[in-house]
Structures are given as structure tokens and as C-alpha cells.
Structure 1
Amino acid sequence: MLIAASETHSNQHGKHRQKCAWNLILFAIEVGLNMKYNIALYTAYYAPHIGGVERFVESLADKLQSQGHCVTIFTSASSFSDQITNTGTRLITIPSFSIMGDRFPLPKPTPSCLRALQTQKEVAFDAVIVNTRYYPISLMGCLTAKRNKIQPIIIDHSSGFLSKTDSIAGFAIRIWERAMTSLLNLFKPNYYGVSQGSVRWLKSLRIDANGVIPNSIDADAYKQINSNIDWRAKLSIGEDTCIVSYVGRLVPEKGVTNLIAAMKQIAGTEDDVALVIAGNGPLEQEVKQVTSHSVYYVGPLAPADISSLFASSDIFCLPTEYPEGLPTVLLEAASQNNAIVVSNCAGAKEVIPDDSYGTILSSTAPNDIAEAILHYVRNPKEREEASVKVNHHIAHAFSWNATASKVVRLIDESLHK
């Protein structure tokens, strides 16, 4: 059950304050009786907003909470709310506008925003973990760390600038990112990358990261959230057809248009292959228009439905050129025994140490994508061996239990210097 306090009508303000006070009392009791560390996590967006960082923060919070720590998440949303989630995490949303195609939140100059900001001062935190460097909420996290006289931990989830375009907007975004990074550096944070690719990217910005706090997955638990939708039956795809899945934002940088172009090439062969696309974004209408007997668009899916889609598919393809950290969907697809075809993005070589675990594309050109997919379609034994091997690898090398324990160890070391 969700205990929530939100501003919806002025006559509810009294109830809102009472619920917030009750939440704080419960929170204080939990801290005093059960919890070891009081940890604040800052993230630009959070569920139900879809994204890899959102899932990273949710999973880390749940695991830390289950290990006996007290977690508060500060994030952005259209309105203020103060909630206790099903897993016991406190979730505070800061009223924000979402700009740049729902990619960049800016706090609203409203009384409810000030109330949300005030909640950051109501609890003494032992650790502050900021996810990504370039959002206003990242600065809020560093300010909270300063008030609590601790060094913030900043986890970088990227491997490049937010925008690589030569446009005025792209140039302005890069200036903003550098300026925000310089500002956060004044707080002397401990930097970590979500993958070795993120660590290398930080190095290029003259930031020496302390190591990796890896993206992870509880493979067995992820399988269990499967909604058990039979996507073959739902989409009338034959049992002998090889299903390729794509799950992610429908933006040019993620490579979905190149994947569709590759499918057009595959359609000209005798191979029986279907592509199922899940997600939303600016390219949604374009994707809908190319839907055919071999390309299916199923829209944005809930996590349980994504798990069931991966359970139904044979190959997962992510030809991304986005500055990824370590894509969560790679771990999710691997946990459901998909053979992986992915671009050489950050994190790819950690998930796929060599070609017996999957395929890292030499380029994201449609020809190369089609060739990699057809290789697995025409070599089912090799596809099966790769899917089993990568499944075993991620289950042991990318455990949330290990990642959360590492975070706690880092907090221990920071507090007992």
C-alpha cells in the first residue's frame, strides 16, 4: 500500500501536512530501530518514467532497503509528492518542467517546489548518491551532502556528451554539461562510473573516477516478474519464426531506424524473422508507419511485460549510438536467455567478454546489423550456446546484492576515514 501526501487541492493541505508528519515519524522510528545508514539518492527521473537510470535507482534503492538501510529518493515530476513505496523507500518528487523531449527536468518556481526542497533539510543523511552530473537536481544532491558535512558520491551513467550535434543547441548543451560538472567538482565528490566505459569518459573530462558501481540485475527475480504474455500468440507469430526484440527509447541515437532498415534487408531473404519493437519517443509515428508482417510495434511496456517479451524472443538487438553507461536492457534480455546483438557501446564488452557470449557490432550500419542477426538465425545451436553463456555470466557478475554491498562498503570507508 502506498502512503502518499500530495498537493492537489488547497483544502487538502492540512491532511497533506499530517501525512507528511506521520511519514516522518515512521521514518524516524525505522531509522532508530532497524536501519544502519540513512541514504539519499538523487535522480533526474524515476518510475513510471522509462529509462535505464530510473531502473538502476529503483533497483539499488530496493536492495539497500532490503539490507536494512533507510533510503530516500529525490526526483522530478510534474507535481510535489511525499510517498512511502511498497518496499519502504521514501520518494519525494520535486515539481519540474520537462523539456528537450522529456529528457531534462527544470524545477518549477512554485511554493510546492520550495516545500519539496525543504524536505531535504528534514533528515540527517549518512550518504548522498547523485546519479548523473548535469541536471539541476544533481546540484541539489551535492548541496544536501554539504549540509550533512559529507562527500557526495556521483555515479556517471554516460560515455559521451548529451548531444554530439554541431547545431547551436548541441553546442549549448555541451557548454552546460561542462559548466555543471565544474560546479559539482567544487563539492569534491567521489566519482564512479556505471561501467568501464563511463570511467574512461570521466577520465576524458579530467576526472579520476574511484572505480565502477556497476549496473546490475537480480536475474531470477527478473524472470519472476514476467507477466506471462505469450507474444507469439498475441502477435500471431509462428513457432518457427525467430523473434528479434528491441526495447528502448524511440530516438535516432538508439539505432531503431537502422534496425528497421536491416529488417527490410532480411525480409528479402528466405529467413523467417520478425522484429518486435517496444518503447516510445519522437520516432513513434515513424515506427508505426513501417509496421508490417515482419515488424511489430507494441508501444511502451510495463516492466513485467518487457520481461515476458524477452521470454518470447530469441535475439535482442540494440544498435545504439547513444552515450550509454551500461544499458539495463542488455542485462534484462540476457537474463531471459536472449542472444545479444549490440553496438560497441559502453558496457557491451563487460556483458559480452568475447564472441562466444554474443555479438558486438563493428558498426551500426543496416548491412552489419542484418548480417549479425542472420548469423544467429541460421546457426540456432550457436545462438543457444551464446544465450546460455551470457545468461550465466550476468547472473554471477552483475548481482544487485553485490552492487549494493559495494555501495555500503564505500559509505563505511567514507564515514570512518
Structure 2
Amino acid sequence: MRIAIFTDTFLPQINGVARTIGRLADTLTRNNIPCVVITPETKFQGQRNYELLVSPGLSLPFYPECLLSIPNYTETFQKLNSFKPDLIHVATEFSMGICGLKYASTTGLPIVSSYHTNFPQYLSYYKVEIIAMLAWKYLRWFHNMCLKSYCPSKSTLKLLKQQGIKNLEIWGRGVDTELYNPAKFDFSFRKRFGQNKKLLLYVGRLAPEKDIDILMKSFQMLNKKHRNSHLVIVGDGPLRQKLEQSAPPNVTFTGYLHGDELSRAYASSDIFVFPSTTETYGNVVLEAMSSGLPVVAAFSGGVRENLVNRINGLACSPRNVMDMVTAMERLITDETLRKELSLQARDHAMTKSWDTIFNKLILSYQEIVCLHNKVTA
């Protein structure tokens, strides 16, 4: 079996889609399943055993991590014909996804898709919610062109089903429990912010759809009672400059962190805070849990896949400042509860094996290819 993956975002871009597709490509080749990734231009220079086909790309104004590309169809198709894929996987719905649809239609190959990002929900944050219906109409057409559409969580599957998208299957997410590990604790990281401070950590894009305004309002209220806390914000995005200008002194913006540097930030903090209500899964929530952090998060969307209230974190009502303040305050003041949730967060993450997640996907691939081959024989 040979797999061709079309995606508008890829490593080293910092987002869940790029990281998941990169891990998928690594896993396929490690299982002796040749694959090729077709993507806009990338600066990825890491080790890989799979082929990359790249085209020039332009950043989307509201989502710069995702590039729009105008692929050279003739050149791309010639290279793919030489590769001889058995299955096409379109991971995004923009230009590279359209290219994948076109190639599958031209060759008669089976095609599957995956849904990673709730773009229609993002539209209201950018004051263009009027086109949400058109966005869903497009996504419905795109995904229903495929034999299977994979989504990361039960809540996302329910949403897509309500929007008329068919042939849905859950392709969950795992976590690297060796990389994201409480053992990565680094005293020097904590020392930067004050030895006796309670460190609250946020990891993610600094963009309107992440509800970062709720986090900042909540922390400012928390500051009125608990000046011994410090908020560390890991990430970047269009709101960073504005946030830095208005943030109190006990907020630090680090920009994006990678690899061991990121895992040390997780393991050296006390509480993970995450206000986003638009997640299809929420990979960072699972990374935080794997690092032994109790989570304070909006109980919405894909976050519900992992957050169990009072078991591995505290759930808040979506976009509710007082709920988030109360939850943060409780974990700051109740050390026994914080330690209990920390241990149980790590235990939960240990059940989320990437091998299990990908083995299920590969089995689904094989079933689709076998069925296609029987039908076309």
C-alpha cells in the first residue's frame, strides 16, 4: 500500500495539523508503507524517509500557518504517477486539498479526507460570520467527495454529522509521553519568574478564535487577590503585540517553543490554562496532562475528549471569566487538589498511545484500498 497525502500546512509550521501529518508520514514509513507529502513550500529539514513534493505558497491573512498554493498540476501529477499511490489522503480543504481531489478523480483512486480545523467557527471572530453557511456548504461538498472523512473527537463528529457530512470516522490523537513528561522539570525555568510563584501556562496561537481575551481578563481579576502567580504564554500570532502592550508585569510572552524547550515549560509549570472554545481536539491539553499539569479549560469542542472535571482538571463554562478565575484560584490555593489532579492527568495521558491511534488509521486505509480493488477488479 502506498499513500499520497495532500496538505496546505506542514512542518516546521507550528500547528496541530502540520505536526499530526508529519507524525503520520513518519509512522507510515516506519511501518514500511511508502508515502509522499504534497504541500506548499516548506523549510522542513528534519530527518525523513518519505518524499516531499512542494509548490510555492502564500499565507492566508487570518491563518498564516496555512499556505495557499497554486500547484503545477502537470508536474505534480507526473511525479505522483511515478510514485503510483494506492490511496489519496487530503488533510486540508484549500488548494492542495483540491489538487488531491482532482488527482483522485482523474486516476480513479480511492480518496479519504481528515477534518482538523473549525474554520466556520473562526469566521465570527473575524466579523465575517455572514459567510459561515457558504463555508459549511463548501466543506460539505469537499468531504462528501471522499469515501471516508476522519475527525479527531466525538464532538467534532457530531458537528459534522449535523452539517450533512457523511462517512465519518474518528481518528483520535495521541501524545508522546516520553517528550511530555514531569521528569522534564527545570528549576532554572521557574527561577526566571520567581522561585515561589505559582506558574500558569498557556500554549497556542495568539489569535481571536483561541478566546485569549477571556484568559487575559481572568488573569487580571486573579491578580487582585493572588499576586504570587505568573502567567507564561507560549505561542505567537496576530494578537501578540496588542496583548504584550496591555498585559500586567507578571505575564511573560516567550514566542513559540519547540521540542525539549517546550516540554520543560510544561513540566516546570503548575497549572495549564486554556480558554479556547473552537478546538476540534486540543492537542496541547493532552500534552499538558502528559507533563503532569492539571488543566483549567473551557469545556467545549474537542477539549471534552480529554478533560474530566475534578479528575484531571477543572472545567469552565465557555467564555466565562468568573468560572476561569474561580478554577485558577482554587488550584493555586488547594495544593492537595492540585497534586491529585496532576497525578490523574498524567495517568490519563499514559492511555493515549500514538501507536494505537495510527494502527487504527492504517487498518482503515487497508480496508478502503481492498474494497476499491475488489470493486474495480
TM-score, structure 2 normalization: 0.89
1:111-260 pair list within 5 angstroms: 115-116=75-76, 118-132=78-92, 134-159=93-118, 161-165=120-124, 169-172=128-131, 174-185=133-144, 187-223=145-181, 230-233=188-191, 235=192, 237-260=193-216
1:60 maps to 24
Structure-2 separation of matches of 1:367 and 1:415: 51
Call closer, same or farther: CA 1:174–1:137 in 2, change over 3 Å.
farther
For 1:284 and 1:404, locate their aligned partners in 2 and report how far apart those are by CA, in whole Å. Answer: 35
Letter in 1 for 2:99: M
Where does residue 284 of structure 2 map in the other structure?
A: 329
1:168 to partner: Cα distance = 7.7
Find the residue that maps to 2:157 and give its secondary structure: helix
Offset at 1:351? Answer: 0.7
Which of 232, 235, 243 matches 1:287?
Answer: 243
Q: Structure 1 residues 304, 43: closer, same or farther in 2, change over 3 A? A: farther
Kindly provide the amino acid, as one letter, of the partner of residue 412 in structure 1. Q
- Does the aligned pair in 2 maintain the 1:229–1:305 contact within 8 Å? no
Contact 2:200 2:271 in 1 (8 A): yes
How far the C-alpha of 1:305 sits from its partner, in A, is 1.9
Q: Secondary structure at the match of 2:232?
A: strand
Question: Residue in 1 aligned with 2:6?
Answer: 42
Q: RMSD over aligned Cα, in angstroms?
A: 2.7
CA distance 1:85–1:299, shift in 2 (3 Å): closer
Change (3 A) 1:118 1:170: farther
The structural deviation recorded for 1:328 is: 1.2
Letter in 2 for 1:119: K
1:121 Cα deviation after fit = 3.3
- Alpha-carbon distance between aligned partners in 2 of 1:189 and 1:104, rounded to the nearest angstrom: 25
**Structure 2 residue runs without a partner (length 5+):** 372-377
CA distance in 1, matches of 2:339, 2:240: 32
Provide, for residues 140-199 of structure 1, a one-character-per-residue CA deviation record: whole Å limited to 9, x for no partner: 2223333453321211124561534298844346414522531452x3421121111110
User: TM (normalized to structure 1)?
Assistant: 0.81
Secondary structure in 2 matching 1:163: helix
Please say if 1:383 is aligned against 2:338: yes
2:326 aligned to 371, 381, 393, which one?
A: 371
Mapped pair 1:265 → 2:221: yes
* Residue-by-residue CA offset, 1:4-62 (whole Å, 9 max, x unaligned): xxxxxxxxxxxxxxxxxxxxxxxxxxxxxxxxx32222222112211111111112222
Give the counterpart letter for 2:244 in structure 1: K
Match of 1:106 among 46, 68, 71: 68
What's the CA shift for 1:282? Answer: 1.0
- The letter of the residue matching 1:107 is S
May I ask how many residue pairs the two structures share in their alignment?
Answer: 370
Q: Aligned in 2, Cα 1:130/1:222: closer, same or farther, shift over 3 Å?
A: farther
In structure 1, runs of 5+ residues without a counterpart are 1-36
Shift in Å at residue 343 of structure 1?
1.0
